[in-house]
Amino acid sequence: MGYADLHVHSIHSSDGTAAISAILKYAADFTRLDVIAITDHDTMAGVAEAVHLAPQYKLEVIPGCEISSAEGHVLALFIDRPVRAGLSLLETVLRVGEQGGLCVAAHPKAKGTSSLSFGAIEQVLTHPLAARILVGIEAFNGGLVYTRSNQAVQAASSRIKLAQVGNSDAHILSMLGAGSSYFIGNTAQDLRFALENQCTIPIRGKGLTGTSVLASYIPRYILRKLGWVSWNANPKEKVKFTRISQIMAGTSPRSVGQP
Ligand SMILES: [Zn+2]
Ligand SMILES: [Zn+2]
């Protein structure tokens, strides 16, 4: 049996605080996750690095993206390139399907962020092709500002014929795996099968409380704005803070051949 967290943000989202290498290191050392998806906002800039590095951390990475559709955020998984923001949910889902990908409705009905209504999801599911692509819904999202939406969503999402997924929506390392899905097998393909056959089991973590937002997220967000993010040189090293400009420029120690 395996665990997956299919909603993770890196420094390639403007509000992410951890480099890809740090995400992999933390997931490997401090969570029971087997599979993660990197789902930055409307970009896949970190995905190639994540897929490349994942075997060193004994993880599998699903290429993904959190797409800002006109009706709200939707996760796209198993894709090669992002679908542009602002298209209708139906158009977005169909374009993900053209790439052989799957969609999961992110934090439905959540306040404080652009979120799909259940009406919008159900409307798309009346389209026979789209219904084979939009296969999952976040019954639990461990994200920062909308954890209270989860209670209403748990009840409502169980009435929709979609795979029930738990995700962290992590923007800081300590949130990784705070929501996850339990599935038969432990590979990305096993997870895909579980999504398509509606047999994922959402695992509801604690999510962040107001106190932990202040203690954990806000300090790291400020550091990010000052140019410092979590980063890992290699699987044997500890996570450190490094300048985001060095990572983006490819001049971090890893890139120039140091440990
Ligand atoms: Zn979102
Ligand atoms: Zn997100």
CA quadruple 149, 152, 154, 160: dihedral, nearest 10:
-120
28 CA to centre of ligand 1 in angstroms: 24
175 CA to centre of ligand 1 in angstroms: 15
Answer for the pair 239, 231: CB distance below 8 angstroms, yes or no. yes
Model confidence pLDDT, tens digit, residues 208-250: 666 777 778 889 999 999 999 999 999 999 999 999 999 988 8
pLDDT-based confidence at residue 192 (cuts at 50, 70, 90): very high
Model pLDDT, residue 65: 98
Q: Within 10 Å of residue 232's Cβ, how many Cβ atoms?
A: 26
Q: Write the CB contacts of 177 (distance below 8 Å, at least 6 apart in sequence).
A: 3, 5, 27, 30, 31, 32, 33, 168, 170, 205
Residue 6 has pLDDT above 60, yes or no: yes
Residue 28 has pLDDT above 90, yes or no: yes
Task: Name the strand (E) or helix (H) holding 72.
Answer: strand 72-77
pLDDT-based confidence at residue 256 (cuts at 50, 70, 90): low
Least confident of 61-65, 174-178, 202-206: 202-206
Residue 259 has pLDDT above 50, yes or no: no
> For the chain, which domains are there?
2-216 (3.20.20.140)
Q: DSSP secondary structure string, 116-128?
A: --HHHHHHHHTST
Ligand in nearest proximity to the CA of 68: 1
Q: Using CA atoms, how far apart are residues 11 and 9, in angstroms rounded to an integer?
A: 7
Find the mean pLDDT for residues 48-72: 98
Tokens of 128: 């026979």
189 CA to centre of ligand 1 in angstroms: 24
Answer for the pair 29, 177: CB distance below 8 angstroms, yes or no. no
Answer for the pair 42, 85: CB distance below 8 angstroms, yes or no. yes
66 CA to centre of ligand 2 in angstroms: 6
Q: Using CA atoms, how far apart are residues 110 and 63, in angstroms rounded to an integer?
A: 24
Residue 119 has pLDDT above 50, yes or no: yes
pLDDT-based confidence at residue 257 (cuts at 50, 70, 90): very low
Tokens of 238: 């500890």
**Residue 99: helix, strand or coil by DSSP?**
coil
129 CA to centre of ligand 1 in angstroms: 24
Q: Write the CB contacts of 154 (distance below 8 Å, at least 6 apart in sequence).
A: 139, 140, 204
Find the mean pLDDT for residues 57-81: 98
Ligand in nearest proximity to the CA of 8: 2
Q: Using CA atoms, how far apart are residues 131 and 235, in angstroms rounded to an integer?
A: 40
144 vs 250: which has the higher pLDDT? 250
pLDDT-based confidence at residue 32 (cuts at 50, 70, 90): very high
Model pLDDT, residue 204: 85
Answer for the pair 57, 19: CB distance below 8 angstroms, yes or no. no
Model pLDDT, residue 57: 98
What is the distance, to the nearest Å, from the Cα of residue 175 to the centroid of all Cα atoms in its chain? 11
Answer for the pair 132, 140: CB distance below 8 angstroms, yes or no. no
112 CA to centre of ligand 1 in angstroms: 10
Ligand in nearest proximity to the CA of 85: 1
Task: Name the strand (E) or helix (H) holding 7.
Answer: strand 2-8
